[in-house]
């Protein structure tokens, strides 16, 4: 299903994808450096979901966004790279929303979630989101449902024979990988908004987790076109996909989320100051006098 684009539109998309790739790669690499090298300069109690989310964003920018950019320039993607990109895209989507959901849960519970027992549970749940994404992403690859979609600018799932297979797969994948984490996010956000746990989380504003509402809003905003395109597919018994413009928009917006998250982290003052200190370290001037000896004079 080839989508013929005007030359101007093609190069506009190339420019947008290139910008998003640079934002995602550079931004998330800097975030990882700050989180690892400057941990003592800002408060981050719930570091594991932050690291998981950053790795997911970095992987998406390095592999998926760059893959779409290359596909725009070369005219497609070939096997086995085609199948790998499709699998990893779903894994990154699932791990991102899973990491945000775990972050919301930890922020709601408070410092108790950093205890050994609960921390192991959080790490297991966060890791499970990666595994679940890989499992559901591999199902279309195994069943040979994958081929290049020029509208999405990457390899995607196409349904040509069975509406029932498509219905079962999409409902299972979205229920487990998308809707369940969304329920956790909305539930935890609602409890936080009603201040049910204000006595436990009175100092959360100083922690990096204070940016969680912005991460949630960014994810929902950027992935709404993707969800809409899948819902349109569910409503069409002839298995025809969503309009080309919506599929293109869903890819562009999902890549944008990977570049926006580093900017969201920088909205936290302590994290921003730690990053600036890492980039512009003040060195002592060479001419600074150094005390080498003390002479004692008797009066």
Delimit the domains of the chain by residue range.
7-278
> Per this entry, what is the length of the chain?
299
Alpha-carbon dihedral sign for residues 284, 288, 291, 296: negative
| Residue owning tokens 């956790």 | 184
Which run of H or E residues covers position 108? Answer: helix 81-109
Closest CA to 176 of 135, 122, 223: 135
238-261 pLDDT per residue, tens: 777 788 899 999 999 999 999 999
**Which pLDDT does position 286 carry in this prediction?**
42
CA distance 278 to 37: 8
42-77 pLDDT per residue, tens: 888 888 999 999 999 999 999 999 999 999 888 888
Q: Is the pLDDT of residue 4 over 50?
A: yes
Radius of gyration of the chain, Cα coordinates, nearest whole angstrom: 23
**Which pLDDT does position 181 carry in this prediction?**
92
Alpha-carbon dihedral sign for residues 33, 39, 43, 47: positive
Give the max Cα distance, the chain.
105
Q: Is the pLDDT of residue 228 over 60?
A: yes
Query: Looking at beta carbons, which pairs linking 200-203 to residues 24 or more positions away fall under 8 Å?
Result: 200/109, 200/110, 200/111, 200/112, 201/107, 201/108, 201/110
Closest CA to 158 of 238, 251, 103: 238
Q: Which CATH architecture has domain 7-278?
A: Up-down Bundle (1.20)
């Amino acid at each position: 299903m080839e989508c013929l684009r005007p030359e101007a539109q093609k190069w506009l998309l190339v420019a947008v994808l290139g910008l998003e790739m640079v934002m995602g790669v550079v931004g998330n690499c800097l975030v990882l450096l700050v989180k690892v090298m400057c941990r003592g300069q800002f408060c981050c109690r719930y570091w594991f979901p932050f690291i998981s989310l950053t790795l997911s964003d970095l992987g998406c920018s390095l592999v998926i966004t760059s893959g779409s950019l290359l596909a725009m320039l070369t005219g497609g993607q070939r096997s086995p790279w085609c199948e790998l990109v499709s699998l990893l895209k779903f894994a990154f989507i699932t791990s991102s929303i899973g990491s945000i959901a775990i972050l919301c849960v930890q922020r709601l519970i408070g410092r108790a979630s950093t205890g050994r027992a609960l921390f192991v549970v959080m790490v297991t749940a966060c890791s499970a989101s990666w595994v679940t994404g890989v499992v559901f992403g591999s199902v279309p690859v195994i069943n040979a449902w994958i081929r290049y979609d020029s509208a999405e600018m990457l390899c995607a799932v196409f349904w040509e024979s069975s509406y029932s297979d498509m219905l079962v797969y999409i409902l299972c994948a979205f229920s487990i990988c998308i809707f369940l984490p969304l329920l956790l996010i909305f539930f935890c956000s609602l409890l936080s908004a009603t201040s049910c746990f204000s006595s436990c989380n009175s100092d959360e504003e100083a922690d990096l987790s204070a940016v969680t509402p912005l991460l949630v809003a960014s994810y929902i905003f950027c992935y709404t076109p993707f969800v809409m395109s899948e819902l349109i597919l569910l409503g069409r018994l002839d298995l025809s996909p969503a309009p080309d413009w919506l599929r293109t928009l869903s890819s562009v917006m999902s890549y944008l989320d990977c570049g926006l998250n580093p900017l969201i982290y920088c909205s936290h003052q302590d994290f921003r100051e730690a990053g600036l200190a890492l980039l512009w370290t003040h060195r002592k001037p060479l001419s600074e006098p150094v005390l080498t000896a003390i002479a004692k004079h008797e009066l």
